[in-house]
């Protein structure tokens, strides 16, 4: 039931791009994306609702393919501040309120 994220870890140089994928085996109502810095609480980035929409937040955007039950997070022209662990959280199609997180993708951006 836990969504699967890939890759598990990414190392980038400043200015490079990255894609983080989130895949579920169940039908989804929405997908949430969060970033967590070491020793801190996760911070909300964006939510995507079923309908295949794509959203953006600064140079970070995401897409949601409802039919494939997949979401992708796109980080373009990465900055040092993008380093951290990224989590996707999924809400099932019945929207019971239950939010289940993937295992996380660790992103390290080097100068």
Partner 1 sequence: NAGVTQTPKFRVLKTGQSMTLLCAQDMNHEYMYWYRQDPGMGLRLIHYSVGEGTTAKGEVPDGYNVSRLKKQNFLLGLESAAPSQTSVYFCASRTATAGVGDTQYFGPGTRLTVL
Residue where the block lists tokens 């380093």? 83
Question: Nearest 10 degrees: CA dihedral of 91, 107, 68, 41?
Answer: 0
Instruction: Report which DSSP code applies to 82.
Output: G
Alpha helix (H) ranges present in the chain?
none
97 binds partner 1 (CB under 8 A): yes
Residue from 42, 60, 64, 73 that binds partner 1 (CB under 8 A)? 42
Contact call for residue 70 and partner 1 (CB under 8 A): no
Considering only residues 71, 102, 107, 109, which one is a binding residue for partner 1 as defined by CB under 8 A? 102
Give which of 66, 96, 92 is closest to 2, Cα–Cα.
92
Q: Among 88, 80, 87, which Cα is nearest to 108's?
A: 80
Binding track, positions 3-32, relative to partner 1; x by CB under 8 A? --------------------------xx-x
Q: Smallest distance from the beta carbon of 103 to partner 1, in angstroms? A: 4
- Residues in touch with partner 1 (CB under 8 A): 1-2, 29-30, 32, 34, 40-44, 47, 49, 87, 89, 95-104
């Amino acid at each position: 039931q836990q969504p699967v994220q890939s890759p598990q870890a990414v190392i980038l140089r400043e200015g490079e791009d990255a894609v983080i994928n989130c895949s579920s085996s169940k039908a989804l109502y929405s997908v949430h994306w969060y970033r967590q810095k070491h020793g801190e609480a996760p911070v909300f980035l964006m939510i995507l609702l079923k309908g295949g929409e794509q959203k953006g937040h600064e140079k970070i955007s995401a897409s949601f393919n409802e039919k494939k039950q997949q979401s992708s997070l796109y980080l373009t022209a990465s900055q040092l501040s993008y380093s951290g662990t990224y989590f996707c959280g999924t809400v099932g199609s019945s929207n019971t309120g239950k939010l289940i997180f993937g295992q996380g993708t660790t992103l390290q951006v080097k100068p």
